[in-house]
Amino acid sequence: MSARATRALKAMPRAWNRFWRYVALYMPKRLYARSLIIVIAPMILLQSVVAFVFMERHWQTVTQRLSQATVRDIAAIVDLIETYPRDADYANVIRIAQDRMQLKVDLLPPDPLPPPGPKPFFSILDEILSSEITRQINRPFWIDTVGNSNIVEVRVQLEGKVLRVFVRRSQAYASNTHIFLIWMVGTSLVLLMIAIPFLRNQIRPILTLAEAAESFGKGRPMPRDFRPRGAEEVRRAGFAFIQMRERIERQLEQRTAMLTGVSHDLRTILTRFKLQLALTGTKADTEALGQDIDDMQSMLEGYLAFARGEATEDTGRFDLAAYFDKLGEEATLRKRKLSTTLAGDPHVHVRPRAFARLLSNVVGNAFRYAQTVEIKADHGRGSLLVTIDDDGPGIPAHKREEVFKPFVRLDEARNLDASGTGLGLAIARDIARSHGGDIMLDDSPLGGLRAVIKVPA
């Protein structure tokens, strides 16, 4: 095998992969559309092959045989005229042609034949009839097959006269072909009318399962009327999803109950410490201990909030415009410069308390380290994009993912909340991802840090 052939064989898989990548780029993405293509494409391919074979073999063959028979009759009339030239008006020939051959024959003066007319777009009859006249009669002729008339006119130049013949189109042309095409297309339409509702009915349970899984993944309640339907495989997937959801909810309930008990016990101990410090010792001795107890309580609340993740809160409507007004008041108290921009509907469908904490952690982080903060919110096309820019010191690019880890505290980090636990941005990202979104950090045009929050809403 030559080197060129070897290179060609090696290039074939790559070309095949490129072809399918190109096809996949323009293929529909939804299951229903792809299922319709799976049904319709083979049907169209099969009908195209059948129609081509029919046109090539049946239609053309039948038309050719009919044209041969018609031209044979015309040739017989020409022979009769030339064999019996003494018949002045050729009444017997005209009678035989009309009675036996079903042809209307006239003899015209020897005028020149009309100029050739325009060729029809689909000229199978014109081509076959012309070739047969040339082959069987071999005289100058003129034919007219154009138009929707049921009559075809043929003129043949004879000695001293012109033979004009009117032939029914059905005698020389397979004119009932459209019946086959109508039956083929009609049966296909009937099959599609049956297949499309059936496909829709089979795909609907899959779409319902996908919507339920998406709602559960975003922390939203599942549809109350959700239950496994459809084919056995879809039902099995639905039951598996319900069991998984129940296990996750039981684990969340157990963790929440445990955290509630731990929180209650530790708060009781801290309250007892505060009471003992208030009853014993001087103010100077107990002030530092009291501050430590307050820090411990604040840290405990932060740990519990991070572990709880606000997952048990129901979804509701959150008013961005009202929240931005509160941020404006906070910026005034902190003596910070704040500008807010809101595009789209101010009301978003999220877990309100959790989402407020998400924004509070990120914006509070910007207030703590910057003097100027800009917030832009764009709500549209089923998602909410919030961009927070500031002119603070920022975070190095190689440490921007690390600051989202729980309890990570960097010297120049900006993920420290009020208690200094290093959970501010970790809690914010946990809340964003529980909504089906995320938080990304980047350089800000103001010179500091940019936080981009994107969640479905």
Give the CA distances from residue 326 to residues 232, 273, 454, in Å, rounded to whole numbers and listed in that order.
53, 35, 21
User: What tokens appear for 175 in the block?
Assistant: 């004119």
**pLDDT tens track of the chain, all 457 residues?**
566 666 666 666 777 777 777 777 777 777 777 888 888 888 888 888 887 777 667 777 888 888 888 889 988 888 888 887 766 677 888 888 888 888 888 888 888 888 877 776 666 777 888 888 888 888 888 888 776 678 888 889 888 888 899 988 878 877 666 677 788 888 888 888 888 888 888 888 888 888 888 777 766 667 767 788 888 888 888 888 888 888 877 877 777 677 677 777 777 777 777 777 777 656 655 666 676 677 677 667 666 665 555 555 677 889 999 999 999 999 999 899 999 999 999 999 888 888 988 999 899 889 988 999 999 999 988 889 999 999 988 888 888 888 888 766 665 444 444 445 567 788 888 888 888 889 999 999 999 999 999 998 7
**Number of domains present in the structure of the chain:** 3
- Both 295 and 165 in one domain: the answer is no
User: CATH number, domain at 348?
Assistant: 3.30.565.10
pTM (two decimals): 0.52
Backbone angles phi, psi at 318, to 5 degrees: -115, 130
Residue 8 lies in a domain: no
Range of the domain at 196: 16-212
Residue 390 lies in a domain: yes
Residue 84: DSSP 8-state: -
- Both 111 and 161 in one domain: the answer is yes
- Both 293 and 268 in one domain: the answer is yes
Structure confidence at residue 419 (pLDDT): 45
Beta strands in 93-242 (DSSP E): 104-108, 141-144, 151-158, 161-168
Residue 6 lies in a domain: no
Round to whole Å and give the CA distance between 383 and 380.
6
Where is the domain boundary, 308, 324, 357?
Answer: 308
- Both 66 and 125 in one domain: the answer is yes
Residue 4 lies in a domain: no
- Both 73 and 207 in one domain: the answer is yes
- Both 203 and 233 in one domain: the answer is no
- Both 286 and 170 in one domain: the answer is no
Give yes or no for a contact between 139 and 165, defined as CB atoms under 8 angstroms apart.
no
Round to whole Å and give the CA distance between 124 and 197.
41
Structure confidence at residue 219 (pLDDT): 66
- Both 304 and 349 in one domain: the answer is no
Residue 10 lies in a domain: no
- Both 180 and 255 in one domain: the answer is no
Per the DSSP assignment, residues forming a β-bridge with 416 are none
CA angle 442, 448, 452 (to 5 degrees): 35
Residue 114 lies in a domain: yes
Where is the domain boundary, 151, 182, 212?
Answer: 212
- Both 60 and 206 in one domain: the answer is yes
Where is the domain boundary, 259, 274, 308?
Answer: 308
- Both 236 and 119 in one domain: the answer is no
The DSSP H or E segment spanning 386 is strand 383-390
Residue 54 lies in a domain: yes
Residue 169 lies in a domain: yes
- Both 199 and 242 in one domain: the answer is no
Structure confidence at residue 321 (pLDDT): 92
Give yes or no for a contact between 318 and 350, defined as CB atoms under 8 angstroms apart.
yes
Structure confidence at residue 422 (pLDDT): 65
Round to whole Å and give the CA distance between 51 and 363.
68
